[in-house]
Amino acid sequence: MQTFRDYMEAALYDPERGYYIRRVPTEDFYTAPELHPVFAAVLARQIARQLDSLKAAGVAGPYSVVELGSGSGILAREILKRLKEESPPWAQSIRYILVDRSRNALLDSIISLSASYERVMGCSRLEDVLPCSGVFFSNELLDAFPVHLLEKRDGGVYEVYVEESGRTLLSELSRGELKPFADAIGPRLEEGERHAVNLEALRWLRTVSEKLKEGTLVTIDYGKRFSGAPNPPRAFHRHSRDERLTEDKGLKDITASVDFDAMIHEGKQLGFQLESYGTLARFMLDGGIAEWFEQADKQGAIPSFKSRAKMKTLIHPEGMGEVFKVLIQRKKHLEPLP
């Protein structure tokens, strides 16, 4: 018997049978960089503005851009391309650091990117990144962290455990640090209702705080500000929601929405200032996605239709536009960007 957190860890990341080891891109869900390169272009523009802010504040370089959860390297390639095209000459000395727990994906990305870009390096653990100033960012990383799962039963709040067969049962909390979460969510849970607690995300934020000396953390993910409301996990298979969390281990994605209230609160305790929080749609619109729609219109009927449809998914309320959020937190004395 193991906690749901340990079951989720194995289901997603087992080196031989984990979901992310075997995942075929776009088969069960799309990520923003897989959908259209405009996502990387807008993100690169934001990164360049943040680097400009560091320079203007007199923060000594060289600066680092640290991608947390770099995966296949598709986002890194597009961002490096845009930074090279749009950034001022001084920004060409930035170090681009990929961080991913998959050593194979990390090595493949570094080899591929190093052929075209200098100062690309990688780490398989965030703990191994040297302290630096610059921009740290992640895209759809925190919602894939394994979570502890709580359930209300007979008026009490218990932790969910998973047997080898996949059957779930309830028992006492496995860790003392879960008790404040159980006490807080208990009155809000209905009988049998579940709630995910992402301790990994809070630990991750604390480690980022140790590594980012001065600069910005950009977190893009599926979630919202829950304000203490229940947050049950979900599974996805072939673009459809699957309620059977502990069946077909390794064959489906298991995820829990990011509680941005918790990230903002914990960030303040660590010295991060909230610069902005909003929807992916607003981030894309403010970042110039309209320019790309204009370019698509010049490509002809069929290319324009396909490109526009994909870009609309990034900003449409029924696509990624409203359910994905962008949190930007600053470290130390930087002034907010206009």
pLDDT at 8: 96
Residue 299, pLDDT score: 61
pLDDT given at position 138: 98
Residue 223, token pair as written in the block: 């979630």
pLDDT at 26: 60
CA distance 27 to 166: 24
Q: Where are the domains of the chain?
A: 1-28+148-197+236-251, 31-145+198-224+273-330
Helix extents (H) in 216-321: 260-269, 280-286, 289-297, 301-315
Give the pLDDT of the chain (338 residues) as one tens digit per residue. 999 999 999 999 998 888 888 776 666 677 899 889 999 999 999 999 999 999 888 998 889 999 999 998 999 999 999 988 876 676 678 999 999 999 989 999 999 999 888 899 999 999 999 999 999 999 999 999 999 999 999 999 999 999 999 999 999 999 999 999 999 999 999 999 999 999 999 999 999 999 999 999 999 999 999 998 999 999 987 767 888 899 989 888 999 999 999 999 999 999 999 999 999 999 999 999 998 888 766 665 445 778 888 899 999 998 899 999 999 999 985 555 55
- Predicted confidence at residue 331, as pLDDT, reads 93
Q: Over the Cα atoms of the chain, what is R_g?
A: 20
Q: Are 230 and 150 in contact (CB under 8 A)?
A: no
CATH annotation of 31-145+198-224+273-330: 3.40.50.12710
Which residues of the chain form beta strands (DSSP E)? Answer: 2-3, 64-68, 95-99, 120-123, 132-139, 148-153, 156-162, 168-171, 194-197, 212-224, 234-237, 240-242, 253-255, 258-259, 272-279, 324-331
**Prediction pTM value:** 0.92
Structure confidence at residue 336 (pLDDT) = 52
Q: What is the pLDDT of residue 219?
A: 98
